[in-house]
Amino acid sequence: MIDPIVLLAFLPAGLALNLTPGADMLFCLAQGTRGGARPALAASAGISTGAMIHVTIAGLGLGILVTQYPVIFDAIRYAGVAYLLWLVWRTLNTPMGTSDTQSVRPSRAFRDGLIVNLTNPKVILFILAFLPQFVDPTRPVLPQFLIFGTVLAIGGFIINGLVGVFAGGLGEHLAKNPTFERYLRWITATIFGALALRLLLEDKRT
């Protein structure tokens, strides 16, 4: 279905994208810091699931609706802003560290990761801009989107998951140092807030 040479060219490009810090990676970092490895991996799985949903929508051609009808883009964008602001509130009001591990359920981490990804409409627009560069229009498009999307989803799951898992060790130190824990919580909340502001202000036609 896909030329092996094209797939080999796609792999480093996909890896570079997976390594780029963003809301998904930060969310997994926060989950790992707060709850340890299991919630971090669950959050990463939720994010990868959301990415595959975006890829499927783009492959089916429905992503064009987002660019053709700005009201759809705005509705998703404002939902993403609202959810990021809710994450700000929860981060400020939920201590990080091992003492909070029991309150972080993997099922909830998966759900929250899925929502973080799905409520970012720029993901599907990016997919529509990036993946077609590697798609052969003479072959079935959807299977190619799904293969490339699977590569991105697996890479993202591994990288974001590792970030969250290694953050679990940080959680132990945070439990012993409440001052540092408080500062890190404010820094994390500030980044989430900045992401919400950027999502709110960015041009809907970009």
Domain ranges of the chain: 22-201
pLDDT above 90 coverage of the chain, percent: 17
Residue range 131-163, pLDDT digits in tens:
877 888 777 888 888 999 999 999 999 999 998
**Nearest by Cα to 36 from 175, 176, 155:** 175
pLDDT above 70 coverage of the chain, percent: 78
Residue range 192-206, pLDDT digits in tens:
787 678 767 765 444
pTM score of the predicted model: 0.71
Residue range 16-44, pLDDT digits in tens:
778 777 778 888 888 888 788 899 999 99
Contacts of 73 (CB under 8 A, 6+ apart): 66, 67, 121, 204
